[in-house]
Amino acid sequence: MANRLEIQDLWVSHEGKTILKGVNLVLPLGEVHALMGPNGAGKSTLGKVIAGDPNYQVEKGRILLDGEDITELTPDERARKGLFLAFQYPVEVPGVQVANFLRLALKERLGQEPPIAEFYARLKEAIELLDWDESVLSRYLNEGFSGGEKKKNEILQLLVLRPRYAILDETDSGLDIDALKVVARGVNSMRGPEFAALVITHYQRLLNYIVPDVVHVMMDGRVVKTGGPELALELEKRGYDWLKAEVAGA
């Protein structure tokens, strides 16, 4: 059971309303999976619940990280075990500089103060990969960032913190094609046997640049279909209605 993120029969409610209704999903290390589905299917909720958002109540089921049940762990404990959520709406934190924040986060990730040289090497490499400027490091975290910059900043954090499992929640939304390519380049640079990603998206467009190994489709709080990359193309062509009919008929 090691080397995978596994969701087992996960039921979740928010403000009294049940949103996830028995999600099952396995993300093995070394793979990139796409999670697609219509609005309101519960994709973003799943991302937040995996990260440990306290606004959601897990009614039933488990989340296993490398075989360990993390369902009851706090968000920071999960992150230190190698989990990362790139937010759909990154939060502005005025007064906290990007560089200071990253150093503190990396210290927690590594369990010790990172050597200064290594820290700056990671920063420099990540900033170059994202076609960015070092001036971002002295800015306050996401404050006054454009929508595209906020998404880039999520990927910057991903590159510096190097988690084992990353969930990218609609990182493509609001990006123009150039920004999309930059973000995809960042994620693709992480690919390898020690990294897995769950890419949540509405559109097939991102998947042209981050080609998934597996595609899952969520509807009404459950994963209703799992297939290869061709499933994303089919959804792009035919929409979700045929799948709805198929699920209803089953």
- State which residue, 44 or 204, has the beta carbon closest to other proteins: 44
Residue 234 in tokens = 């089919």
Residue 92 Cα distances to 16, 139, 182, angstroms: 28, 11, 22
Closest CA to 36 of 237, 224, 247, 242: 224
Interaction of residue 101 with other proteins, rule CB under 8 A: yes
Whole-number minimum distance, CB 166 to other proteins, in Å? 11
Return the range that interacts with other proteins (CB under 8 A); candidates 20-28, 49-57, 131-139, 239-247: 49-57
CA dihedral sign, ordered 18, 19, 21, 27: negative
Distance CA 1, CA 141 (A): 37
Q: Restricting to residues 153-182, which ones interact with other proteins according to CB under 8 A?
A: 157, 161
Q: Does 64 bind other proteins (CB under 8 A)?
A: no
Question: How many residues at the interface with other proteins, by CB under 8 A?
Answer: 28
Residue of 16, 54, 192, 193 interacting with other proteins (CB under 8 A): 54
Read off φ and ψ for residue 86, nearest 5 degrees: -85, 120
Q: Mention every residue, 6+ apart, whose C-beta is less than 8 A from residue 48.
A: 55, 56, 85, 169
The residue (of 8 and 97) whose beta carbon lies closer to other proteins is 97
Distance of CA 72 to the CA centre of its chain: 20
Give the nearest distance from C-beta 186 to other proteins in angstroms: 16
d(CA 9, CA 1): 16
Q: Which of residues 134-153 bind other proteins (CB under 8 A)?
A: 140
User: Which residue in 157, 40, 38 sits closest to 108, CA to CA?
Assistant: 157
Interface residue with other proteins among 29, 96, 99, 211 (CB under 8 A) is 96
Stretch that binds other proteins, among 14-22, 80-88, 182-190, 234-242 (CB under 8 A): 80-88
Q: Closest approach of Cβ 179 to other proteins, in Å?
A: 21
Site for other proteins contains 197 (CB under 8 A):
no
Instruction: List interacting residues with other proteins (CB under 8 A).
Output: 51-54, 74-76, 78-80, 84-85, 87, 90-96, 101, 104-105, 108-109, 140, 157, 161
